[in-house]
Chains A and B, each alone.
Chain A
């Protein structure tokens, strides 16, 4: 009975995902084809839409006269595509802000898109680990992660279809231009959904049918192909966003002068690809961690608590390990934005959007504090953690001080009396602590001590047995000390005592120091703890309050993604396609941070509701209704 119910649910999910993908593909195909016709320079009069190859006479239309083909009209036929410059009246008025509608749909689509692209990535790795180690717990956990995310694919497709509809309806000229520029690439994008759906369902439903031996390799290959399809979808969609920010392959009047590859590989494409790839994994890990935390808190069964504790720990491990290099990917992206257009870079970092980074600091601070707290609380699982407890206080102190420096603003909007009371436009502390060098020191130190928490946690259930263990430990301590000194020195010396060029260059030194700590730490521990003595670990023996850190992570991640979406889109200022197509809609201004915050909250709450629905569906498949007892007269009791 249970099997039948699962199959039915699965069928419904498969069907809805296929319908979603089909509708999306149909919409894109439907809109692309006429748009390309318009793009070819053909007039959109009724006659010519009916018969694009020649004119037709509409019955009852007496004004029709045969067109006279002159030399001039022949010349017009080869006139290249002219991008329409939309005026205010070209944007449909639907009574509410079109931008708000697209904002909600696009952000929801991105949340779910990120989730369903990320989960199969780490599921594949976990499955491979399980296969190589022979530990079936990994295999079961990977399967459960897939089960949780399955409904997410359908939700992503449905919201994606709605988004495409909203975009083509509310921004027809922009979408006509984009379909002209990207042309068949959009059709390839749509067709990839069919491949992704095929690999998704064969991968998920074939899990137990291909669990051992050579069939497992086949199953892993399906997982790889699922990820390949998903990643291709992501980078193709990214190229639309980066084209709008930094167009390539077109000239200054918007005419396509390069091939599709030149259009796609703009200066920001790869930085965005990398940034989204890493961020998606961190986000996906955080969301499934919340699922594990919820299941942990919902049960008193020690065995289940142990399972979900381990699941939550693994999710947190995935989220934080992916999160640590994320600022560096973000740094590369911002460096490329500055290289493409200094004006755009300053608009983001030093102009009207600069205040946004205070909110970002609050969010990242929350993520780091929550992740550290979870690790410290999790140390109670092992007996060997006692030796590291004094260090926790030091880590907490560094985190709090750095967090306060990070949220220190530089410029305040002050009244004349406030300026007089302050003795100038800048407080004597805000001046030095509010600028980027101080913040760079703070964020790098926060990342280093978070990695220290992570490393201590990983070490807490082990005792190294290799002969060079004391040397290895001393080396690790030395690397931490040198890296932290280097981060502080580079920030203070180059940040405050040299000019701007060196100031920017110093952050490379700081980032390198942090990366060295992470890479050496992981590599050194791999050798140091080879064949180590393992101390007892008690999964499930973790305080309930630690689970709330696992709720804090996805909430902060989701809000942060929404915030970064706001800045990414806003740096284009009043342009749909930067420097090529102006945004003349009523919403062609950068909204205030407060308005953006309210919008992000709205989308985050909607996402939360849909994720709860997704979890509920995942649990529904495992729920079995007890068979009604049969009474003596044959009816149900």
Chain B
């Protein structure tokens, strides 16, 4: 028992020392990026530049490498616009940009277009960049966010900010699936066919009594009501029809474009 208590006491003592060391160190939590809604109406260029600065060290994770430790060019201490012009004039440059703004955008979404000497991937002789495309996973910056960072990089050295303030949200683009993911329908008719609407609803010459006929729906329903009926079929049930028959997952399956095309087409169906 004596041996057991001594050996256990010794082991637990060591464990506590390790725990103490871990608790004495600076305690930092790595939060997941939080998607913030930008109020485009209230956005000024100053707040847009400030957003860019936040993104540079936050969601964009730019500061992880672009710092004084030498992993990547230290953008915070150099005149980014001036250096960009030098890169554009370099014979090694193989991108399509013609201005500083375009160059900065290109360097974020296609970092391999120009690799700064000695910062290429190991063994690639500066032909490949270790930097990920910021518009793709894991960073996933939106176009508005990329432009905010460009605005910040231009403004921090007193250069002219050439990016324009965003005025509308970028169109929702379905991520193109490499392989055989279903593509977004090109026309409203194609979308109706894709989701099998005419299998249950009489419309555009088709006949079915499973769901309510939609031939004259444009005369009685607004765009909002039709949208709601598609995305949340249980919200309102036409008399004589049972709830739960219509699939409830169209909101997840349809692209915004498809939904809009279908609603527009249905609005045109007047008696």
Which residue numbers of A lie inside 8 Å of B, CB to CB? 62-63, 65, 67-68, 70-73, 75-76, 79-80, 82, 251-253, 255, 257, 290, 293-294, 297-298, 338-339, 341-343, 346-347, 350-353, 355, 358-359, 362-363, 366, 412-413, 499-501, 504, 548, 551-552, 555-556, 559, 570, 573-575, 578-580, 583, 588-598, 600-601, 604-605, 608
A472 nearest CB across to chain B (Å): 39
Cross-interface CB contact of A75 among B194, B199, B243, cutoff 8 Å: B194
Residues of A within 8 A of B29 (CB): 589-592
**A342, B65: Cβ atoms under 8 Å?**
yes
B170 at interface, CB cutoff 8 A:
no
CA distance A229 to B179 in the complex (A): 36
| Segment of B13-21, B76-84, B154-162, B261-269 in the binding face | B13-21
**B194, A552: Cβ atoms under 8 Å?**
no
B25 nearest CB across to chain A (Å): 5
**B18, A363: Cβ atoms under 8 Å?**
yes
Among residues 17 to 34 in chain B, which have CB atoms less than 8 Å away from a CB atom of chain A?
18-19, 21-23, 25-33
CA distance A25 to B131 in the complex (A): 42
Cross-interface CB contact of A352 among B18, B28, B245, cutoff 8 Å: B28
**B30, A573: Cβ atoms under 8 Å?**
yes
A503 nearest CB across to chain B (Å): 8
**B11, A255: Cβ atoms under 8 Å?**
no
Cross-interface CB contact of B138 among A65, A67, A551, A579, cutoff 8 Å: A579
Q: By CB atoms of chain B within 10 A, which of A62, A347, A594, A604 has the most?
A: A594
**A592, B245: Cβ atoms under 8 Å?**
no
CA distance A79 to B132 in the complex (A): 30
**A253, B65: Cβ atoms under 8 Å?**
no
Query: Smallest CB-CB separation from B32: which chain A residue?
Result: A574
B186 at interface, CB cutoff 8 A:
no
Residues of A within 8 A of B138 (CB): 341, 343, 573, 575, 578-579
* Given A255-B177, A294-B3, A341-B132, A359-B18 contact (CB < 8 Å): yes
A17 nearest CB across to chain B (Å): 27
Beyond known contacts A555-B11, A579-B136: 8 more, CB 8 A cutoff: A339-B121, A351-B64, A363-B18, A412-B26, A589-B32, A597-B23, A601-B18, A608-B11
What are 30 residue pairs bridging A and B, where the CB atoms are less than 8 Å apart in the complex?
A65-B210, A68-B208, A68-B210, A72-B193, A80-B180, A251-B179, A253-B178, A255-B178, A255-B181, A257-B178, A341-B138, A342-B65, A343-B65, A346-B65, A358-B25, A359-B21, A359-B22, A499-B118, A501-B122, A551-B11, A555-B11, A555-B14, A583-B32, A589-B29, A592-B27, A592-B29, A594-B25, A597-B22, A598-B23, A601-B16
CA distance A29 to B132 in the complex (A): 38
Q: By CB atoms of chain A within 10 A, which of B27, B118, B136 has the most?
A: B27
**A73, B22: Cβ atoms under 8 Å?**
no
* Given A252-B136, A341-B132, A588-B32, A298-B27 contact (CB < 8 Å): no
Residues of A within 8 A of B15 (CB): 555, 559, 601, 604-605
Residues of B within 8 A of A583 (CB): 32
Q: By CB atoms of chain A within 10 A, which of B18, B138, B180 has the most?
A: B18
CA distance A68 to B12 in the complex (A): 68
**B194, A72: Cβ atoms under 8 Å?**
yes
* Given A62-B242, A252-B178, A593-B199 contact (CB < 8 Å): no
Residues of A within 8 A of B3 (CB): 294, 297-298
**B118, A70: Cβ atoms under 8 Å?**
no
**A598, B7: Cβ atoms under 8 Å?**
no
